[in-house]
Every structure is written in C-alpha cells, then in structure tokens.
Amino acid sequence: MAETGPGALTAEHVGQQTIARSFHLTPRLIMAYAASIKDSNPRFFDDLSGPLTAHPFLAFTFQWATRFSPQIPPNPRAAPYGVHAATDLRLARSMVENDLITMQGQLMSTRAIRPGVINLSRYTMTDAAGTTVGVLDQTGITRGATLEGEPKALADLPDVPMNPAPAGAEPLWQRQIGITPDAGQIYTECADIYNPIHTERRVAKAAGLPDVILHGSATQAIACSAIVDGCLGGAVEQVRRFVGALRAMVVLGSTITVRCLADNEVSGGRDIYFDVLNADGEPAVAGGYIRATV
C-alpha cells in the first residue's frame, strides 16, 4: 500500500543555500511586475520622469527563480503539502531601474508546530557593488508533516513593533479591491511565478482547494500597493519593511478588503498596520505591518 501524507522531515538541510541568480532591472521587468497586480502608480511606468522604481514585491520574482537547492534531494511526497505562510521583507533602499540585483537563499530554521513542520528561508539581495539591498524572509509550512530528530535554527525572524490600536478598533480606512477571474494568469505570466493551482481549476480542485486561488505573494503585493496609495501618496520608495501572515484563501473572481488599522509617526518614519479580508470576511493577510521612511 502506497504511503500517504507528507511523511517525516528532518532539520539536516538547515544552513544549505539555494542557487544564486542575478537580475537586471529593466523597464520591461519593472513594468511587468506592476502590471501583474494592476498597479498603475506612475513610479512604475513614467520613464520620462527619471529612473523607474520597482515594486518591493518584485523580490518574489527573484525568489521564485532562486528557490532551488540542487544539492538537496527532492521530496515529491512532501512538496504538495507545502504552503507559503508568512513574509518579512526588509529593504535598505528601494530597487530602481538599471540595478543589477543578485539573490541567494539559505534555509535558516526547521521546527515542528501543531499544523506540521515550519521552515524559515532567508533570501538576500545585493547590488552590483555587493551592498545588501534587502532581505526576504519567507516562512513555509509543510502541512501534516512530522519532524524526525531535533529542530535546528541559525536565525529567527526579527521582532515586529506591536500594533497600538486596541483589538476590534474600527479601521482608519478600508478599500475593497476586485480580484478578476484572470488575476492568477496575469500574475503568473507578468511576475513569472507559476503554480497551476493559481491558474487551472482541475489542478486546484485535485489539490482539495475550493477553486483557483490567488498567489499569496500577489495578495500581499496588492495590499502593499493599497497602503502605499492610501497612506504614502504613492511614494513606494519609502517602503522599508513589509510583514504579513497568509491565512484564508482568496478565490479568483472575488473581492478583498484592505483595512488600515493604525498609522503612527515614529523616529525617522511611520509604522502602518493593516490586514486583508477575503470575500467571506476571513483574514487573508493577518498581522500586516509596513515601516516607511519619511
């Protein structure tokens, strides 16, 4: 009888690195990512006004292309049970047109939690001079897996400032955004991030999903854009950190609601807290936080 479920995982690969790849930030690349989430901010498109600024979540295009560790044997049994659980993107500066960005990832920790086994992968971005431009921490969970042996950690996630707004407080503002039936296909091709559960109904249904769902990184990127527009007047170059945990699914052809929960001036910038609800009122992104410079 064939074994079912993801099986047991170990922490033996903590410390292993992914392949490294370099990306030239051309207008085509910058505009394509903005188009993937239908963000028409002139900073992504108006190349007559100076060098274009890249959306912070272009980092996920780089991450998708550099996620492979060919020295580690593949685990096809566990792979279908893996989900993107949380993001912590930290930028030393905005990425701009003509940058040459090199990204490489490293598995930083593996441990057991109630839903399965959680991994923290850290992707570092450097420019042509070797200076760090940003760090993308991606947390993933292998649902239903068990951990064989001891957990291992080289680093943890940095702390996030606490939201000062009381629980249940009315949002400062909220914005409803339509997720069109073709949003998964557009994001797939423009962001160059392909997983058929986001484009093909038969694959999504076979995976036990209610229907085709939007990429988690797309949901977070749309939320980032909404906060940039609503709180920063479109000044995406001010974003220095984005934090968000992915929870409920967003089905294509539905709506999401981005809610700004708090917006506070702090030394050198602003702390903005938000969440995202799906069409059923469930939290699609929880614990949302953006640090912006001034």
Q: What is the CATH number of domain 8-158+170-293?
A: 3.10.129.10
Rounded to an integer, the average pLDDT of 205-220 is: 92
Longest CA–CA separation in the chain, Å: 64
Question: Residue 27: which region, alpha, beta or left (left: phi > 0; alpha: psi -120 to 50)?
Answer: alpha
Write the pLDDT tens digit of every residue in 224-279.
999 999 999 999 999 999 999 999 999 999 999 999 999 999 999 999 999 999 99
Helix axes 183-191, 27-36, angle to 10 degrees: 160
Q: Check: CB of residue 261 under 8 Å from CB of residue 231.
A: no
Distance CA 84, CA 139 (A): 6
The pLDDT mean for the chain works out to 96
In this prediction, residue 291 carries a pLDDT of 98
Distance CA 289, CA 273 (A): 5
Q: pLDDT exceeding 90 applies to what percent of the chain?
A: 90
Q: How far is CA 53 from CA 22, 43, 126, 186, 294, in A?
A: 18, 6, 16, 21, 16
Phi/psi for 204 (5° steps) reads: -60, -45
Six-digit token string for 121: 């992968």
pLDDT in tens, 7-51: 999 999 999 999 999 999 999 999 999 999 999 999 999 999 999
* Spatial CA neighbour of 274 closest among 233, 231, 235: 231
| Whole-model pTM over 0.75 | yes
pLDDT at position 5 is: 86
Q: Return the H-helix or E-strand segment holding 176.
A: strand 173-178
So where are the chain's domains? Answer: 8-158+170-293
3-class SS of residue 50? coil
Residue 213 DSSP symbol: B
Query: 60: part of which helix (H) or strand (E)?
Result: helix 58-65
